[in-house]
Amino acid sequence: MLISELAERSGTPAATIKYYVREGLLPAGDRQGGNRTVYGEQHERRLRLIRAMLEVGKLSIASVKSVLAALDEPDAPIAHTFDVAQQALSRSAVPDVSEPSDDAYARVDALTARAGWTDCDDNIGRGIAAQVIDAFDKAGFPLPDDYLDRYAAAARIHAEADLGAVGTLPDPSRMTELMVVGTVLGDTLSLGLRRIAQAVVTNERRQP
């Protein structure tokens, strides 16, 4: 397909497509004489992935580049690409605040131990959770263990849903792409559904 068709099918202006190519996010099309450049379905699929990360996931161009580089790494295990996506998303979503306290880290470690989770020390989520615990403390609302345990249980359900969806795909490359998309967009989906659930539960508790 020509760039005009790619733009129409993907809903992305041709100028934006050319920008993504210049930035190294999207592979260049195939030159076929003169100024004719042809793009394939792989370009359309990659373009949709780029837009999802930029527009919904709110990643920076640099973060998208790092995720795509991991995605294109030959024979890279899914776990590696997933880790890169986690790192990129977490850096863009979490403000640059002070290092969490030792007490907050200890509470996160105790939480993961109660949940039976192992090998969590190097996961970026450990620091994020500790920052949130500190923030609640500073706001005057220290979180009880029961609250944290229920959040951990919900997070486990989310993770099982993510990996369950990935496991239905027979193509390893598509599995990796879904891991990236799920990591980038899953937090946004969770946020939206949590807002709905909060309103529903609030209304239910108001009823006599």
For 4, other C-beta atoms within 10 Å of its C-beta total: 10
pLDDT digits (tens, 9 = 90+) for 7-26: 999 889 999 999 999 999 99
Global pTM reads 0.70
* CA distances (Å), origin 203, targets 125, 147, 189: 32, 21, 22
Q: Given a cut of 80, is residue 103 above it in pLDDT?
A: yes
pLDDT digits (tens, 9 = 90+) for 150-204: 999 999 999 898 888 877 877 766 776 777 777 777 888 888 999 999 999 999 9
The reported pLDDT for the residue numbered 120 is 87
Please answer whether residues 88 and 67 qualify as being in contact, where contact means their C-beta atoms are separated by less than 8 angstroms.
yes
Confidence of residue 95 (pLDDT cuts 50, 70, 90): low
* CA distances (Å), origin 95, targets 84, 119, 120, 132, 149: 18, 25, 21, 11, 24
Confidence of residue 96 (pLDDT cuts 50, 70, 90): low
The CB-based long-range contact list for 59-64 (8 Å cut-off, 24+ gap) reads 59/88, 59/89, 59/92, 59/184, 60/92, 61/23, 61/25, 63/88, 63/89, 63/91, 63/92, 64/25, 64/88
Q: Given a cut of 70, is residue 92 above it in pLDDT?
A: no
Q: Give the rounded percent of residues in the chain with a pLDDT score beyond 90.
A: 40
Q: Given a cut of 90, is residue 75 above it in pLDDT?
A: no
pLDDT digits (tens, 9 = 90+) for 39-72: 998 899 888 888 887 887 777 888 888 888 877 7
Whether the CA torsion 113, 117, 121, 124 is positive or negative: it is: negative
